[in-house]
Chains A and B, each alone.
Chain A
Amino acid sequence: MFWLGATSAFWLGLLTAISPCPLATNIAAISFIGRKIEKPRQTFLAGTAYTIGRSLTYIVIGAVLVLGLTAVPQTSWFLQKHMNQVLGPLLIVVGMALLELIHFDLPALIGGKRMEQQAEKTGLWSSGFLGVMFALSFCPVSAALFFGSLVPLSVKHDSFFIMPLLYGIGTGLPVMAFALAIALGAKSVAQAFNRLSRVELWVRRGTGLIFIIIGIYFCLRFIFFIF
């Protein structure tokens, strides 16, 4: 019976990921995770960090609800309304950083040989952070499936770690798979033309552009209610 519940939790996650509602954030996540085409290992790790970020968020929200620190309807409506509003400006800023229009002087990025390792670490943390932010930005479908189906499922099976974890994996796995496929495809093409670093530069710029476009879209839609 538990396995049936666990499978349902994972399936609900997949259902969330493939629904059209979080498409914009999924595109942003795929381009962000898959942007380092030179190192597929890095894409895999970034995808894992992104998925862990999502899962942790769902586990924490589940725990907060179970402990009765907040009510389900209030939490759900608050996150649906406000997180999407915060996400718009944030995506634009991240996009600008990816395009090197603005610079963040992170101490971790300073240093000779250590610089690359630190950059990798920073990349993993930022992927995890992206996972947290995107998981918090509930759209109607994800709110319905998480608060309406996953939380009752967790209560039924008295499982407030495994169920949200599996749901989080379900929401992150398709994104990770797409990112890996695109990164590997881009790498093969780039290698064939012997232009690996050049292609990676353009992929990074493309990612920045995608972030800015999606950020503007979120601002117009959720802050200015233009469409």
Chain B
Amino acid sequence: MKTKKVIKVVLLIFVAVSAGWLIVQQGQGTSNEADSGLSPLNGATAAAPESGQADEAKPNPPVLPNRVIVYYFHTTYRCPTCHKIENYTKEAVEAGFAQALRDGHLVFQVLNVEEAPNAHFIQDYQLHTKSVVVVEIKDNKQARWKDLAQVWELVGNKEDFFRYIQSEVNLYLQGK
């Protein structure tokens, strides 16, 4: 009977601490959002290159005025399937377009949309969850973009996933 009481009290304390921590987080989140002064960016700025994901061992490719960017957008919380989508996309791009990646015609970037500077991408590309988006830049301005939404349906089949990513990226690289 005493054990039951102890378990009850421990669980209630855990629930109270969780709820309290959640409320504190919400308060901090609201003030951070207000401080960050998030504003939607236009396509040109949104597509500006970032070097955060570049492998330090490799030299950075030149930033060309005409290029295609493949974005993988994620959040702070990352699920196993989300990691799989990121890895498959990276592998598919590297396997299919190694030369374009080296010469800067193609860029692959991984960004966390919960970080204030990247939050505008949610609105820019109408993202509703972790997503792969392909963007074409012409004369340093965003010409077009596409959310590759089928990644979630194809993630169970690596071959189909690769074929999908590579064909969509290829169309953008060829300007079709």
Residues of A within 8 A of B (CB): 15, 19-21, 72-73, 76-77, 80-81, 85-86, 88-89, 92-93, 96, 101-102, 138-141, 143-145, 147-149, 212, 216, 219, 221-225
Q: Are B122 and A148 in contact (CB under 8 A)?
A: no
Segment at the interface with A among B63-71, B75-83, B90-98, B163-171 = B75-83
How close is B70's CB to chain A, nearest CB, in angstroms? 17
| Cβ–Cβ contact A20 & B77, under 8 A | no
| Contacts A140-B130, A144-B149, A148-B152; A88 near B79 (Cβ below 8 A) | no
Please determine whether B152 and A20 come into contact, CB atoms closer than 8 angstroms. Answer: no
Q: Which residues of A are found within 8 Å of B152, using beta-carbon distances?
A: 140-141, 144-145, 148-149
Closest 10 CB pairs of A and B: A76-B128, A144-B152, A147-B128, A143-B129, A148-B149, A219-B18, A101-B8, A89-B15, A144-B129, A140-B129
- Determine if B128 and A77 form an interchain contact, defined as CB atoms under 8 angstroms apart: yes
Docked CA distance A77–B122 (Å): 9
B153 A15 Cβ-Cβ under 8 A: yes
A141: chain B residues at CB < 8 Å are 79, 81, 152
| Contact, CB under 8 Å: A19 / B81 | yes
A20, A102, A223: the one within 8 Å of B8 (CB): A102
Interface assignment of B22: CB less than 8 Å from any CB of chain A: yes
Chain B residues with CB under 8 A of A72: 126, 128
Contact residues in B for A77 (Cβ distance below 8 Å)? 122, 127-129
Q: Across the interface, which residues of A come within 8 angstroms of B151, CB to CB?
A: 144
Which A-chain residue is minimally distant from B8 (CB atoms)? A101
Q: Can you sample 25 A-B contacts with CB below 8 Å? A: A20-B80, A21-B79, A72-B128, A73-B123, A77-B122, A77-B127, A77-B128, A77-B129, A80-B129, A85-B22, A86-B22, A88-B18, A92-B11, A102-B12, A139-B79, A143-B129, A145-B152, A145-B153, A148-B129, A148-B152, A222-B77, A223-B18, A223-B25, A224-B21, A225-B77
